[in-house]
Amino acid sequence: MSLLGRSGMGSRARNFFAFGLIVSVLAGCASQGSAGPRSWTSHTPTDRDDLRRQLGMERTSEDGSQEPKAPTGMDLVGLVAVTQEPQSDWPTPVHDNQRFTFLRAEQLEYRLRDDGSDAARWEAQGWHGTDYKKLWMKTEGEQSLEGPSEGDVEVQALYSQLVAPFWDFQVGARYDRRWGPRPSLDRWFGVVGVQGFSPYEFETELALFLSDDADVSARLTAATDFLITQRLILQPRFESEVVLQEVPEFQVGQGLNYVDLGLRLRYEFNRELAPYIGVNWIRSLGETEDLIRGDGGQVSDLALVFGVSLWF
């Protein structure tokens, strides 16, 4: 046989061999695919031990041996599903029901007025409850330190429910009392409002009041802190009130009642103790201004303030 003949036969043999090899590989893949996914029992003991360790499916018995928690015959999908379902031997979840108590006296100050008698002023609030539900107490007032005794006090008792991150819905009651040379006066209100942190970290209180005589009013208070240093802090503060009905005996007119602006610089020895100094300006507006002027009172009040802020 010539060299050419032998070369042709060798080439055909190699082609038949390659074709047979390809057919064998394809047949093996097909038979493996038709057998379906490998089950838990199709793995060798070493494979199953590795899977248990990786998926945390082992537990230690009293004698120190490892006991598998997965039942025999479970495939990998079922095994992963078991790890995501609560098990009977898991501990009871911890709920956010721990109760706390907090009290902050934001203003305990002496007001040195440019015109009129000096006065002591306080504003404080506190709560008791959980992260979601609280009972609030708020109080503010003022007492003159010169001349005839006169002043006023306000107390609020509120129930609070967390409705959004950093925002509480509040409902409750408010009591006002005013005393002085004239006969003392008092009245009750129902209260509905929200309290929390608005954008740019303004601590905000917005409340709607309904008096026992069906007088409606609303108040907005906002304050924020600017850190000059970690201990030296500047706090601007704004407050205003709008009234729907005139109440002459309390010197309250219809419309925008007043604007109260304050600027206080405090130094925090710690969060619980912070003396401060600042300035506060109050201006009566609209019909309220007319009522106060008619009674011979002052419609504008500028005062140098100094005091202390306390946390408990």
DSSP-assigned letter for residue 45: H
pLDDT reported for residue 3: 42
Say yes or no: 150 and 105 in one domain.
yes
Say yes or no: 175 and 264 in one domain.
yes
Helix axes 45-55, 76-84, angle to 10 degrees: 30
Say yes or no: 76 and 142 in one domain.
no
Tokens of 269: 């020895």
Do the domain assignments include residue 94?
A: no
* Local structure of 51: helix, strand or coil: helix
Of 99 and 263, more confident = 263
Do the domain assignments include residue 90?
A: no
pLDDT digits (tens, 9 = 90+) for 127-181: 999 989 999 999 999 999 988 889 999 999 999 999 999 999 999 999 999 998 8
Q: How confident is the model at residue 64 (pLDDT cuts 50, 70, 90)?
A: low
Tokens of 24: 């064998």
pLDDT reported for residue 183: 87
Q: How confident is the model at residue 115 (pLDDT cuts 50, 70, 90)?
A: confident
Do the domain assignments include residue 93?
A: no
pLDDT, mean over the chain:
82
pLDDT digits (tens, 9 = 90+) for 39-57: 444 445 555 556 556 555 5
* Cα separations in angstroms, 127 against 5, 10, 137, 242: 104, 96, 6, 27
Do the domain assignments include residue 35?
A: yes
Say yes or no: 24 and 129 in one domain.
no
Q: What is the CATH number of the domain that holds 186?
A: 2.40.160.40
Say yes or no: 72 and 137 in one domain.
no
Consecutive H or E run containing 134: strand 133-144
Say yes or no: 123 and 253 in one domain.
yes
Say yes or no: 55 and 129 in one domain.
no
Say yes or no: 282 and 209 in one domain.
yes
CA–CA gap between residue 49 and residue 53 (Å, rounded): 6
Of 23 and 243, more confident = 243
> Which of 84, 109, 140 lies at the terminal end of a domain, its last residue?
84
The segment with the largest mean pLDDT, out of 77-81, 89-93, 125-129, 288-292, is: 125-129
pLDDT reported for residue 181: 84
Do the domain assignments include residue 92?
A: no
Q: Which residues contact 57 (CB under 8 A, 6 or more apart)?
A: 51, 68, 69, 70, 79, 82, 83
Of 83 and 36, more confident = 83
DSSP-assigned letter for residue 77: H
Position 304 pLDDT exceeds 80: yes
What is the extent of the structural domain holding 148? 101-311
Do the domain assignments include residue 175?
A: yes
Say yes or no: 195 and 78 in one domain.
no
Q: For the chain, how many structural domains are there in total?
A: 2
Q: Look up the pTM and report it.
A: 0.69
Say yes or no: 63 and 212 in one domain.
no
Do the domain assignments include residue 212?
A: yes
Say yes or no: 79 and 140 in one domain.
no
pLDDT reported for residue 291: 92
Query: What is the pLDDT averaged over residues 73-90?
Result: 61
pLDDT digits (tens, 9 = 90+) for 259-274: 999 999 999 999 899 9
Do the domain assignments include residue 195?
A: yes
pLDDT reported for residue 39: 46
Say yes or no: 170 and 232 in one domain.
yes
Percent above pLDDT 70 for the chain: 70
Q: How confident is the model at residue 182 (pLDDT cuts 50, 70, 90)?
A: confident
> Which of 57, 84, 111 lies at the terminal end of a domain, its last residue?
84
pLDDT reported for residue 87: 63
Residue 102, number of CB atoms within 10 A of its CB: 13
Percent above pLDDT 90 for the chain: 59
- Please give the biggest Cα pair distance in the chain: 140
